[in-house]
């Protein structure tokens, strides 16, 4: 039987694996980890600033945040690609993913902060605690705990959006699959292996988040 007529060929599936794993580690995982870190830290800063900064500053922040949330990630990536030509594409990808997801995570943090019971604030007043200590020792730790699962879900969703990095000419798994397909005229195996690697990484992570969700709830 001619090789071109079978839908699935295990030889190609194995042959594409090294390229796939390389792209997975150096791009997909790398961008997800660093992007998540930026998003988690910047998101918290945005959420705290919106709660504590003077009204005009908080207003500007809210506007910028909504602007980023209301435009597609791909548009932001392409815009940055043409506007900031001096920045290496991979760095640019990490930054844009980080900033984009920071605006979503900021909302998660806001909800977490709002969910801290009023009695906690009242106890900090009754103990004459400073504003700084109230935030860092009481409110943020409790807010973080309740937000961890939601933040984790955004990390998974960022992970699954990494193929958009291709618009920056960065070779993520999907682009690597297309390149393999283009050279060998075998797309099916390459794209399937990319999908399987996504699944292998994200499914256990989502299970872990589900378990965290149950463990993190404060039961009084």
Q: Write the binding mask 161 to 200 for other proteins: x where contact by CB under 8 A, - elsewhere.
A: ----------------------------------------
Which tokens in the block code for residue 122? 């009242």
Segment near other proteins (CB under 8 A); pick from 41-49, 74-82, 132-140, 172-180:
132-140
User: What sign does the CA torsion over 183, 189, 192, 197 have?
Assistant: negative
Segment near other proteins (CB under 8 A); pick from 5-13, 17-25, 136-144, 188-196:
136-144
Nearest CB to other proteins, comparing residues 75 and 123: 123
By CB under 8 A, the residues from 89 to 118 that bind other proteins are 117
Count the residues of the shown chain that bind other proteins, applying the rule CB under 8 A.
Answer: 20
Q: Does 5 bind other proteins (CB under 8 A)?
A: no
Backbone angles phi, psi at 219, to 5 degrees: -105, 120
Say how far apart CA 102 and CA 158 lie, in whole Å.
Answer: 11
At residue 90, the 3 state secondary structure works out as helix
Segment near other proteins (CB under 8 A); pick from 33-41, 49-57, 120-128, 179-187:
120-128
CB 27 within 8 A of CB 173: yes
Q: Does 126 bind other proteins (CB under 8 A)?
A: yes
Nearest partner of 46 among 59, 33, 35, judged by Cα: 59
User: What is the distance of C-alpha 26 from the center of its chain?
Assistant: 16
Q: Please name the residue that has the structure tokens 């992570």.
A: 205
Contacts with other proteins, residue ranges (CB under 8 A) = 117, 119-120, 122-123, 125-130, 133, 137-138, 141-142, 145, 218-220
């Amino acid at each position: 039987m001619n090789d071109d007529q079978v839908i699935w060929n295990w030889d190609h599936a194995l042959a594409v694996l090294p390229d796939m794993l390389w792209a997975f580690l150096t791009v997909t995982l790398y961008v997800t980890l660093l992007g998540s870190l930026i998003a988690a830290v910047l998101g918290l800063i945005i959420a705290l600033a919106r709660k504590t900064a003077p009204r005009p500053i908080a207003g500007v922040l809210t506007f910028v945040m909504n602007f980023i949330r209301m435009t597609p990630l791909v548009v932001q990536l392409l815009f940055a690609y043409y506007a900031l030509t001096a920045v290496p594409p991979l760095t640019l990808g990490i930054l844009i993913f980080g900033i984009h997801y920071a605006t979503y995570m900021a909302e998660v943090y806001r909800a977490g902060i709002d969910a801290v019971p009023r009695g906690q604030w009242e106890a900090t007043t009754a103990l004459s605690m400073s504003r700084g200590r109230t935030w860092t020792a009481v409110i943020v730790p409790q807010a973080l705990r309740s937000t961890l699962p939601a933040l984790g879900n955004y990390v998974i969703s960022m992970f699954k959006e990494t193929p958009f990095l291709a618009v920056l000419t960065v070779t993520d798994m999907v682009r690597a699959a297309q390149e393999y397909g283009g050279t060998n005229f075998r797309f099916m195996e390459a794209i399937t292996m990319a999908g399987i690697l996504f699944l292998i990484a994200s499914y256990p992570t989502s299970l872990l988040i589900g378990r965290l969700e149950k463990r993190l709830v404060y039961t009084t």
